[in-house]
Amino acid sequence: MKKILLACVAAVLGCASQIAASEQPQWPSKAVRLIVFGGPGGVTDIRARWLAARLGPALGQSVIVENKPGAAGNIGAEYVARSTPDGYTLGIIHQGIMTVNPHLYPKMGYDPLTDFAPITRLGIGPLLLVANPELPVRTAAELIQHAKSHQGKVTFGSPGVGTPPHLANELFRRLAGIEVIHVPFKGGGQAATDLIAGHVNYSIEGLTVMLPLVKSGRLRALAVTGPRRVASLPDVPTIAESGLPGFEYQGWVGIAAPAGTPRAVVERLYREVSAITTSVEGRAWFADAGAEPGNDPPDDLAASIRAEHGKWGTIIREAGIKGE
């Protein structure tokens, strides 16, 4: 009798569990928002819009890109970190947000190591060193010489303090032994516009943003920051080839959800995003920018972020970089 009673209880509980599961709305049942922590026109914005156009059909719902710039990306990052962890608000992340800002801004409204559920990296690749065509330089070596002849007068633009372009230039500046004036903007699009206008002399930014401007003649490519040349600019050498042996900087852009987002949602997003970025179209799109898909699983990306967090903390302290 006792066994029969236990069996009946188990059956009732099983049915209740199935009913509860069936009452849960299937994700996604509405539009998903993809937050960019910067203004329109930057690398993260371009990649977010490219992804959204393909992720929406894969999920069967619209994926809407929203720009929330300001405070070196901290405003948008805090917004995502504080959002309901239900899979309907996601953020585009990068080194600056996850591994650099904590060392620059001690009073941020989020903790990148605990307030996000990393999903995967979208792409990893070099940046491009470019100059306004009016600047009398055609190579990285000539830029270094020009900066040494005009110490403290040459200007460098970036999407903001602590962003990957800022960090890449900090490494470039230190190895080259030059002093330049950093001019931070509120996003890559604005930084590129002012570089074209001649308000700043040079910049280091993602090929996704800079390649069309170089090919149209509005900017001059000097060197790439990666370990090898890129197919889209075969005649442009690496910075290491240009007189700074050992220099290498690879940037990455990824996607994350608020911490506490159901694991099943994170895994679904990883599968869908990975399928998009590693498709024939995806590989070709990233290759045009000298990059390749990241495709690392959520736990691997989380471990990588923790490791980079420590690395950049050391560099920032030694360089004396301060948040603005």
Bridge-based pairing state of the strands 250-258 and 116-131: antiparallel
* Count of Cβ atoms closer than 10 Å to residue 259 Cβ: 15
- Cβ atoms of 93 and 254 closer than 8 Å: yes
**pLDDT at 14 (0 to 100):** 52
What is the pLDDT tens value at each position of the chain, 324 positions in all? 444 444 444 454 454 434 333 444 699 999 999 999 988 988 889 999 999 999 999 999 999 999 998 888 899 999 999 999 999 999 999 988 999 888 888 788 999 999 999 999 999 989 999 999 999 999 999 999 999 999 999 999 998 877 888 889 988 998 999 999 999 987 788 899 999 999 999 999 988 889 999 999 999 999 999 999 998 899 999 999 998 998 999 889 999 999 999 999 999 999 999 999 999 999 999 888 788 898 899 999 999 999 989 888 887 887 677 666
**pLDDT at 313 (0 to 100):** 85
In the chain the domains, ranked by start, together with CATH numbers, are 32-124+252-319 (3.40.190.150), 126-224 (3.40.190.10)
Whole-angstrom CA distances from 229 to 43, 94, 234, 248 are: 19, 23, 6, 12
**pLDDT at 10 (0 to 100):** 47
- The span from the CA of 298 to the CA of 303, in Å, is 9
**pLDDT at 316 (0 to 100):** 80
Task: At 211, list the tokens.
Answer: 């390649």
**pLDDT at 22 (0 to 100):** 40
**pLDDT at 96 (0 to 100):** 86
Instruction: From 78, 92, 81, select the one nearest 46 (Cα to Cα).
Output: 92
Task: At 145, list the tokens.
Answer: 């010489």
Q: What is the pTM of this model?
A: 0.78
Percent helix, strand, coil in the chain, to 5, is: 45, 20, 35
- Asked if the peptide bond before residue 28 counts as cis, ω within 30 degrees of 0, the response is yes
